[in-house]
Amino acid sequence: MTARFTDKVALVTEGGSGTGRATALAFAREGATVVVTGREPGDLRRTVELIEADGGTADAVIADVTHGMDVIRLMKTVVERHGGLHIAFNNACFVGNPKPLVEMCEAVWGENLASNLTGVWLLMKHEISHMRENGGGVIINNSTNISFMEGRVGFGAYAASKAALSALTKTAAQEHIGDGIRINAISPGDVAAPASRVAVAAPSGQMAEDDEIASAVVWLAGDESQFVVGHDLVLDGAVAV
């Protein structure tokens, strides 16, 4: 285990599976104390077990980040148990049942906005408040490469929420770099996933592994990327988008 993030606390939302779990494991291997959060306690416990079996330190906090009081409780718990927060990977990814706009129900539209945009805004609001009072930190938000494409049939709500997230990320980065907080986003394309997870197609037809996305998140969190601010890093393997 390296000392890259020794004495750092990293929060990973939706850390019970997929990219969230892979990123949590990657941070732990670099020496961070990792807190995973989400709504599925069994999945979160499994991530913690995998990290501990690998020699790392991890904790799980059940929370629904679309609810403000849950986010406040989450942040309070992280700080009380581990002394602070230095890195946050806001890994929201709700798609729902993709349909053309005229066939989409209001509930699916609202769930996309709540999970992919409002929830990340709530997280950043409280992450930033803590970080600017405690020497700064790093935040990475998970967006999508659809924002850089010409659109994809059936994914209007998802694309709209993630495009708004990219814009929110860039604005927050400008507002808080003076506080010592670096904020960026990643925009993955298709990620190799079990059938239970919805994949978003890359223009090139290539598929990334969760570990490859996690590597980019870890790089953005480290000192090697200290001059990367307000960037949305597209990770889709495409020669041209």
Encode pLDDT of 152-202 as tens digits: 776 788 889 999 999 999 999 999 999 999 999 999 876 665 533 444 444
Q: Mark whether 41 is an active-site residue.
A: no
* Residue 35 domain flag: yes
* Exposure string for 18-36, b = 16+ CB within 10 A, e = fewer: bbbbbbbbbbbbbbbbbbb
68: domain CATH number is: 3.40.50.720
* Residue 157 domain flag: yes
Mean pLDDT of the chain: 89
Q: What is the pLDDT of residue 149?
A: 61
Q: Answer yes or no: is pLDDT of 208 > 80.
A: no
Mean pLDDT value across residues 135-146: 93
Distances (CA, A) of 71 to 3, 19, 27, 131, 142: 29, 21, 21, 15, 17
- Would you tell me the crossing angle of helices 18-29 and 41-53 to the nearest 10 degrees? 30
Mean pLDDT value across residues 124-148: 93
* Residue 74 domain flag: yes
* Residue 2 domain flag: no
Catalytic one of 5, 27, 94, 158 = 158
Other CB atoms within 10 Å distance of the CB of residue 184: 23
The continuous run of DSSP H or E covering 168 comes out as helix 156-176
Encode pLDDT of 91-110 as tens digits: 988 877 778 888 988 998 99
- Would you tell me the crossing angle of helices 210-221 and 18-29 to the nearest 10 degrees? 50
Structural domain of residue 200, as residue ranges? 9-235
